[in-house]
Amino acid sequence: MLDYETLRLLWWALLGVLLIGFAIMDGFDLGVAALLPILGRTDLDRRVMINTVGPVWEGNQVWLILGAGAVFAAWPALYATAFSGFYIAMFLVLCALILRPVGFKFRSKLDGTAWRHAWDTALVVGGVVPAVVFGVAFGNVLQGVPFHFDTDLRVTYTGGFFGLLNPFALLCGFVSLAMVVMHGAVYLAVKTDGEIAARARGVVPWAVILLLALFSLAGAWIAAGIDGYAITSALVPDGPSNPLMKSVARAPGAWLENYHRFPISVAVPALGYAGALATWGLVRAGRSGLAFITSSLAVAGVVGTVGVSVFPFLLPSSSNPASSLTVWDASSSPATLRIMLVAALIFMPLILAYTAWVFRVLRGPVRARDITTDGGAFY
């Protein structure tokens, strides 16, 4: 039987898998939406782009639900703190995500140019805002979030929404946006043909350059100007879930310590660089299908870099470092983690199999002539 320490590590890894899964699967349809005004020169172009994601975007949302559910059940203290502290930001994301199904359906109700342009704008907002806000959230995690626990473990958040929009967090937001734009452009290169696919392939190099430049700038900023967090008391990996039973100090360069302690972890950010560069090269070589795989690897590397850098922290506290939530003191009970692990081992393969089947059924490019003859297409 797995011990408490192992269960906590497994659920930390599973949380990372779910977040990466969401970034990959929902990232390309957020990227497609963000690219609507850039690649969609005509209404028919935009209809083609919408139809590449229209049948799959709802299934992609499963990864977001799974991630939130995993946080709720496996890391309840993290769920309570993050969802209350980031409440307005989460509400903003929710509103933006709601615009997508509304935009898909409503833009076809009238033929007027102004009407369809308005809903296309709503779809762009529904793609750009979540991508930026999720990046901003990761940026604030790297800096620490102003919250603390009292002696009864009641959490108090002392920050505000606009405090989240600090320069470093906004930089991380733009890293996230560049990442999904790259991913979305590669997806369009696979799922369309003709001029749209050519335009999408033309966007990929610029998105890759912007992603790598911003990702490098964020890394340099962390190394030079952002203090990390370090546990200064004895670690108790199988101890009770009480975040106040430890000591934590802020220290320059602490977020780089894991790369010194575990050199193999350098492979995670390296995957982000290698995947993005390989994507550029494969798109130039006309291998868009393989480029989508390497783009997914780049997304995994960028998102995974945050998790590897801050481990074992889940949510550092800037106002009271001792209240920081870590893998060792923020989890549910061993029984809960075991039951959930069994459920994950049953349902995750089913979700992956179903997702693979859906994409196999929907394989092949979406063409303009298909849109004009299919009455069931999105408009």
Cross-strand bridge partners of residue 145: 317
pTM, full prediction: 0.94
How many domains would you assign to the chain?
Answer: 1
In a domain, 379, yes or no: no
d(CA 315, CA 296): 25
Helix-strand-coil split of the chain, %, nearest 5 = 75, 5, 20
Whether residue 119 has pLDDT greater than 60: yes
In a domain, 378, yes or no: no
Whether residue 378 has pLDDT greater than 80: no
61: confidence class by pLDDT, cuts 50, 70, 90: confident
In a domain, 321, yes or no: yes
Instruction: Give the single-character DSSP code of 308.
Output: H
pLDDT at 160 (0 to 100): 83
Mean pLDDT of the chain: 92
Instruction: Specify the DSSP element, H or E, that contains 248.
Output: strand 248-252
Average pLDDT over residues 39-45: 90
The pLDDT tens digits for 240-295 are 899 999 999 999 999 999 999 999 999 999 999 999 999 999 999 999 999 999 99
Percentage of the chain beyond pLDDT 90 is 70
The pLDDT tens digits for 146-189 are 999 998 889 988 888 888 899 999 999 999 999 999 999 999 99
Cβ count near 44 (within 10 Å) = 13
376: confidence class by pLDDT, cuts 50, 70, 90: low
In a domain, 286, yes or no: yes
Average pLDDT over residues 89-114: 87
Q: Which amino acid is at 197?
A: A
Q: What size, in residues, is the chain?
A: 379
pLDDT at 375 (0 to 100): 58
Expressed as residue numbers, the domain containing 77 is 4-373
379: confidence class by pLDDT, cuts 50, 70, 90: low
- Measure CA 9 to chain center: 20
Contacts of 360 (CB under 8 A, 6+ apart): none
In a domain, 152, yes or no: yes
377: confidence class by pLDDT, cuts 50, 70, 90: low
